[in-house]
Amino acid sequence: MIDYEVAVAPMGVLGMQRLLEAVEAADPNDESEWIEFKADLDPSTKDGAATIAKAIVAFANRDPSRAQRWCGGHAYLVIGLAPGNLAGTADVDPAVLHDKVSALIASPSPDWDPTPVSYKGKPLIVITVAPPKAGDPMACIGKSSGSVTDGNVYVRVPGKSAPAKAADIRRLSDRLSPAAETLHDIAVTASEEVTAVDYPVDWLDQWIDAEEDALLGPLKPEPPWTQGKDLSNALLGFYPDALTSITRVGAAIEPQASRVNDMLRTRHEEDRTEDEFRAAVAAYLDRCREGLPEGFEVIRANAGTPVTFSITNNTDRNYSKVLVKLHIEGDVFGYDWVDEFKGWGKYVGKRPRKWGPWTTSKFPNVERPDFRYMHAVSSPSIVASAPRPHPRIENGGSVNITCVPVDLRPGETEQLLTLDLVADRCVTTEVRVTWTATATDVSGKLSDEFVIPLADERVWLDLGRDWTV
């Protein structure tokens, strides 16, 4: 690629000199959609004029928005100079050259201008072709001469001017009518990689089985080897000194702890039958099987990585209210708002009281101060603002997202949304994203796809029952 700053067109003598220096230092293969160089071209000959006409037609037939990527849409044919070859060219009157070449191009002829330039003592000619615009007619040869034939249409391909193909003719026909302009040359990207999670496949059954054992364990008969025996003696029988020390400490603490407990709490004996308790546990475990998956979703959502999706307008025009729809394939989940996980109780309800004696506080009506409202009087009032539109996110084996429409200025990038993305345990490769875009001020629908890499390390989900309320 030619080493030249293409953000703006070369201005004045100094700007043109910098362009010529870049051409001289370039590679012979650096000719592109916006520049061509001919060191040995003689513009005064029939073939020379035909070559210039061919290049002008091709430059004029470029896509307007794509042409804006280079020098404000202008294109250049440098005559008498090529990379490493400063040959110079014949001394030609620019007005005569303009008339001679324009006679070969069908009317209306594209705007172009020949400029004589002196570079390192050699005469050169730089042909400047004006930027193409929406609504421009198709440029074509209007007179046979030398290497060109009446009716020939040329377009730019990397490094040269080439005869137009059927797709080029359709594009140039559409360009003629601005109303037929379609949405094009925009890109959608993602900022981060996706985090995958891992957890036991049968986590729900494990959770419920462990909870059932914890609740119904006291109803199970004691193992024969512990019946009628002191468990501490069974465990510590081989360490009489340790047992003696533990017994002494317990004997010293127990009376005081018991007196304090009696002062603060009332003891109740178990008043349920075993059948009633088992029925309550069964109902609770049914609620668990129904409600735990919702809590699991919250835990999984908190393991996600914030990923920002953005859209870039690579054209020179404004697009109004661009609506982007994303489809993220695979077992991936997306969340634009993640709740904090505060325990399983929210999803399964109150846990049955454990089997056996229980206590209650002797001071149940003592109110605790509510510190949340201590500064309510001095807090400034907040005026509620109008609700902002939110993207629509649908999870269900994959993620479908309808983004909030955005206005796109030329060359600018806008954020579409940021959401927490998390891949389920079965996802092992990169995540594929397909998208479509439409706008209110142009016709057509644009679609494309890209991939988001998967993070190397997975996040193990903590689904422990110790989070149970």
Assigned token pair, 365: 């009506």
| Span 372-414, pLDDT tens digits | 444 444 444 445 455 667 899 998 878 999 999 999 999 999 9
Whether a cis peptide bond, with omega within 30° of 0, leads into 255 is no
Evaluate whether residue 384 is within a structural domain: no
Residues 319 and 458 in one domain: yes
Identify whether the C-beta of residue 156 lies closer than 8 Å to the C-beta of residue 403.
no
Number of domains in the chain: 2
The residue out of 133, 153, 178 marking a domain boundary is 178
Residues 166 and 103 in one domain: yes
Identify whether the C-beta of residue 425 lies closer than 8 Å to the C-beta of residue 196.
yes
Average pLDDT, stretch 23-45? 92
Q: Is 195 helix (H, G, I), strand (E, B) or coil?
A: strand
Evaluate whether residue 39 is within a structural domain: yes
pLDDT reading at 258 higher than 80: no
With CA atoms as reference, report the closest residue to 76 among 1, 133, 126. Answer: 126
The reported pTM is 0.51
Evaluate whether residue 234 is within a structural domain: yes
Average pLDDT, stretch 29-50? 93
Residues 242 and 173 in one domain: no
Residues 159 and 66 in one domain: yes
Residues 120 and 33 in one domain: yes
Residues 222 and 172 in one domain: no
| Span 295-316, pLDDT tens digits | 898 998 899 889 999 999 998 8
Measured distance between the N- and C-terminal CA atoms of the chain, rounded to whole angstroms: 65
Residues 274 and 416 in one domain: yes
Evaluate whether residue 3 is within a structural domain: no
Identify whether the C-beta of residue 194 lies closer than 8 Å to the C-beta of residue 305.
yes
Residues 170 and 203 in one domain: no
Residue type, 131: P
Residues 17 and 115 in one domain: yes
The residue out of 120, 151, 178 marking a domain boundary is 178
Residue 419 to residue 231: CA distance in whole angstroms: 54
Evaluate whether residue 310 is within a structural domain: yes
Its domain, for residue 119, covers: 12-178
Evaluate whether residue 96 is within a structural domain: yes
Residues 73 and 173 in one domain: yes
Residue 413 sits at φ, ψ, to 5 deg, of -115, 135
The residue out of 178, 206, 236 marking a domain boundary is 178
Evaluate whether residue 189 is within a structural domain: no
Return the CATH number at 24. 3.30.950.30
Per DSSP, which regions of 47-185 are E strands? 75-79, 81-82, 85-86, 112-119, 122-129, 154-157, 160-163
Evaluate whether residue 286 is within a structural domain: yes
| pLDDT for 325 | 95
